[in-house]
Amino acid sequence: MKDFWRYCFFHRRAIALFVLFSVVFLIFFLLYHLPVTAVLYPAAFCILAGGIFAAVDFSRSRDRHRTLILLTKNVESAAEHLPAAQTWEAQDYQQMVSLLCQRCKQVEDSMNLRYTDMIDYYTVWAHQIKTPIASMRLMLQNEDSDLARDLSADLLRIEQYVQMVLCYLRLDSDSTDYVIRQCDLDRIVRQAVRKFAGSFTRKKIRLNYDPVRVRVLTDEKWLLFVLEQILSNALKYTQTGQVRIFLEEPKTLCIQDTGIGIAPEDLPRVFEKGYTGYNGRFDQRASGIGLYLSSRICRNLGHGLRIQSVPGKGTTVRIDLDSREMKFE
């Protein structure tokens, strides 16, 4: 019924003209005192023929409308499957739609090409910059001084930023290299801890690690990146005390620190891209990218990621590693 009234609204001029002509003919018949049958039979015939024509036209219009509604769900191929134009105006509109689709396709292809070139450039840059970082790290290995330790810490941060760039580029790439298999969780945790061993020693923060002795279905490289980001934040915002790593049943890995904590108003937004909150404003080195990338990676791998924090007492990050449906973005 709604479609019928819409059809009547769009054809209101034709309906108004039909009613007007009917009234004019009725007046002329009355003025000339013609027999009633001479009026009724032609009028009934015209109404019947007009009703049949209107019903057929309404059915075709409704079919075209439904076809267009379906095409809106796949705009890319809409121009190739438009219903046949019934008027000059409809034909002109279809030509305009076809031209717009062609131009949009050209712009999209151009943007994709530029984006691919940019991704390739930054990927090569990120890989090339790892070479001087590794060389500087080797040069500092034989040095035992405060300056050497400070430089090593700065190199570690630079290496993390480079790793974040690579991760960011790969997440939006069509060729993200996920390798899902059963992995030894202790092995992944030890790799992450080993990377920050110098930071634990320099800041005199105790590491309390309880071996978990479980295997999880995940991607080792990507989960390692998530653990490194969480440990980096724990060390960054913990001045004294400890960082504890333990397992909650069934397969929830917990990283708990005794740092400054996160303000309650910041907790709901810590996984937003670029959001740093109060702690980020306090520490100008925060980028607001690490937790955002970690959240996306965990979602892709089917892992849950939750944060609980009490300002002044510390933060606990929980990674639910129980098998779930993976959702690649």
Provide the whole-model pTM. Answer: 0.64
Does residue 282 surpass a pLDDT of 70? no
Amino acid 174: pLDDT = 58
C-alpha span between 275 and 287 (Å, rounded): 8
| Residues with Cβ within 8 Å of residue 30, at least 6 apart in sequence | none
Amino acid 190: pLDDT = 94
| Residues with Cβ within 8 Å of residue 320, at least 6 apart in sequence | 251, 252, 303, 304, 305, 306
**Selected residue with higher pLDDT from 90 and 271:** 271
pLDDT tier for residue 11 given thresholds of 50, 70 and 90: confident
Does residue 184 surpass a pLDDT of 80? yes
C-alpha span between 305 and 322 (Å, rounded): 11
| Residues with Cβ within 8 Å of residue 268, at least 6 apart in sequence | none
Tell me the average pLDDT across 13-34: 75
Mean pLDDT is highest, among 56-70, 117-131, 148-162, 264-278, for 264-278
Tell me the average pLDDT across 34-46: 71
**Largest Cα–Cα separation, the chain:** 121
**CATH number for the domain formed by residue range(s) 178-329:** 3.30.565.10
Does residue 326 surpass a pLDDT of 90? no
Average pLDDT score over the chain:
80
Amino acid 242: pLDDT = 93
**Selected residue with higher pLDDT from 144 and 272:** 272
Amino acid 39: pLDDT = 66
Measured torsion, CA atoms of residues 209, 213, 215, 220, in degrees rounded to the nearest 10: 30
* Distance (Å) of CA 182 to CA 185, 187, 216: 9, 12, 5
Q: What is the DSSP string of 104-133?
A: HHHHHHHHHHHHHHHHHHHHHHHHHHHHHH
Tell me the average pLDDT across 83-95: 69
**Selected residue with higher pLDDT from 287 and 203:** 203
**Selected residue with higher pLDDT from 71 and 17:** 17
Q: How does pLDDT run across 200-235, given as a tens digit for each residue?
A: 888 889 999 988 889 999 999 899 999 999 998 898
Amino acid 189: pLDDT = 94
Does residue 15 surpass a pLDDT of 80? no
